[in-house]
Amino acid sequence: MLVRFWGTRGSLAKPGPGTLRYGGNTSCVEIRTASGALIVLDCGTGAHGLGQALSAEGAPVRGHLMITHTHWDHIQGFPFFAPLFQRANEWDIYAPGGLGLQLERTLAGQMEYTYFPVTLQQLGAVIRYHDLVEGSFMLDDVRVVTKYLNHPALALGYRLEADSVALVYSSDHEPHVPWVSMDSVAGAGDAPPAHREDLRHVEFLAGADLVIHDAQYDLAEYREKVGWGHTPAEYAVDYALAARARRLALYHHEPVRDDAGVDALLESCRRRVVSAGGQLEVFAAAEGQVIELAEGAGATMAATRPAAAPSGASPETILVADDDPTIVMLLRASLESDGFRVVTAGDGKAALDVARAERPALLLLDWQMPGISGVEVTRALRDDTDPAVRALPVVLITAQSGAENTAAGFAAGVTDYLTKPFRPAHVRARVRTWLLRRDDGAAER
């Protein structure tokens, strides 16, 4: 498997003398398998160069473009990607969808007349759009596994298994609960993460020959950017170590970090590997860099459900229970703007009554409520005589994010957490993730 980095920068293209070595273009990676399959990961400004290279080859291009999410830095190269304009070419384009999110519509929005002179309909190539959820599918001889990332937009990571190697592309992801103190320089070593979602992420990376991972911040910067949806490089190392990955590419470089700054971050990551006693090889992804992944352990991830998003979406009801009217108002506004019906409760007893009567698709419960707490409501639901009520997904709203409390909630049957303070964009993305995932049996784990 051949890997070529066309864009490694996060958030904003940053060309200039300070970024010559690691590059200024945003997210885009080209993958070629031994059988000749072409997979492009993300379509940031780096895709312009890739498009020119593909066009120069002359032959018709058959390719697959996998988009993590549609933030600008991951799709800004799309209207400038030359192979989409040529009639002989055929492209399949994938991105997270469902619950009203539709890739074709989103990409068309970026190419409306106000923003761009050519519309999506004017692209000459045969293009098929695929809305994905978490799951897996086959592309010729490549097995693709998708997993939701923790980001203020619905985002998917991609794991590609082919040629006896596994590559994981995990751009724009934030740890759910850091399982090592931010003051620790030693790293996690083999310690497993405390949060179930972080454990899932480690499983997603498991045994990979190459992990390309969001490493936008360092730990000191991260303190100021909690909730922004990105991983400090030190935690990318911890994830990769826990997953026993072979190689880690630091990726999605912070726009204000110059080449010397990336060098320094890389050095500290390598020290972290050494102090954890790991074998992980770490490098910082550089624009133009090519890596050949020779036959590896052939690590495969367990089979999951098909990744095709269900078509059509019915309006869903969500219960918000919190004794703080400001939180209720904020959540109601965020969720209603996404077309959800919102019912509310001001304490635990009322939440239980509404849950039994309405059987909402999702419950957002404050941990600390007068009378019955969110955890106690969850326990009561899990003990209900009605199987439909027992299965309701419950997300606890909490300001407590310590490992101890996290574990206690999961033991009581909580599906996940929403940690205060939160931003509306993050809530919207997380709610979609929980709803799109609810019927895959994840709650049983």
> What are the residues whose beta carbons fall under 8 Å from the beta carbon of 407, sequence distance 6 or more?
194
Nearer to Zn ion, 71 or 196 (CB): 71
Which residue of 9, 14, 64, 71 would you call a contact of Zn ion, by CB under 5 A? 71
Q: Is the distance from CB of 350 to CB of 321 less than 8 angstroms?
A: yes
Identify which range of 165-173, 177-185, 298-306, 383-391 contacts Zn ion by CB under 5 A: 165-173
Query: Using alpha carbons only, what angle is made at residue 220 by residues 214 and 222, rounded to the nearest 5 degrees?
Result: 45
* Residue number, 33 or 216, with CB nearest to Zn ion: 216
CB of 229 to Zn ion, least distance (A): 6
Complex with Zn ion: residue 9 or 247, whichever CB lies closer? 9
Q: H helices of 243-296, where? A: 259-275
Helix, strand, or coil (residue 24): coil
Asked if 401 contacts 409 with a C-beta cutoff of 8 angstroms, the reply is: no
- The site string for Zn ion over 30-69 (x = CB under 5 A, - otherwise) reads ----------------------------------------
Residue least distant from Zn ion (Cβ): 71
Q: What angle do CA 239, 242, 246 make, to 5 degrees?
A: 85
| Cβ 11 to Zn ion shortest distance, Å | 6
Tokens standing for 98? 């469902």
- Return the range that interacts with Zn ion (CB under 5 A); candidates 73-81, 109-117, 301-309, 352-360: 73-81
Query: CA-CA distance, 366 to 357, in Å (whole number)?
Result: 19
In the 8-state DSSP scheme, what is residue 27? Answer: S
Residues 341-370 contacting Zn ion, CB under 5 A: none
Question: From the CB of 255, what's the least distance to Zn ion, in Å?
Answer: 10
For Zn ion, the closer CB: 10 or 49? 10
Backbone angles phi, psi at 138, to 5 degrees: -105, 140
Query: By C-beta, is 73 or 174 nearer to Zn ion?
Result: 73
Closest alpha carbon to 296 in 1, 90, 13, 61: 1
**Shortest Å, Cβ 423 to Zn ion:** 13
- Residue closer to Zn ion (CB basis): 93 or 327: 93
In the block, which residue shows the tokens 């310590």? 402
d(CA 113, CA 68): 25
Q: Report the nearest approach of Zn ion to the CB of residue 305 (Å).
A: 25
Q: Does 172 bind Zn ion (CB under 5 A)?
A: yes
Q: What tokens appear for 201 in the block?
A: 């992420």
H or E element in which residue 107 lies: helix 103-110
> Which of these segments, 6-14, 91-99, 330-338, 365-373, binds Zn ion (CB under 5 A)?
6-14
**Buried (b) or exposed (e) across 120-129, using 16+ Cβ within 10 A?**
beebebebeb
Residues 8-37 as x/- pattern, contact with Zn ion by CB under 5 A: --x---------------------------
CB 203: neighbour CB atoms within 10 A?
14
Among 6, 47, 63, 73, binds Zn ion (CB under 5 A): 73
Nearest to Zn ion of 68, 398 (CB atom): 68
* Nearer residue to Zn ion within complex by CB, 64 or 253: 253
Which CB atom, from 349 or from 423, has the smaller least distance to Zn ion? 423
Cα–Cα dist 285/247, whole Å: 11
Residues in contact with Zn ion, total (CB under 5 A)?
A: 4
Binding site for Zn ion (CB under 5 A): 10, 71, 73, 172
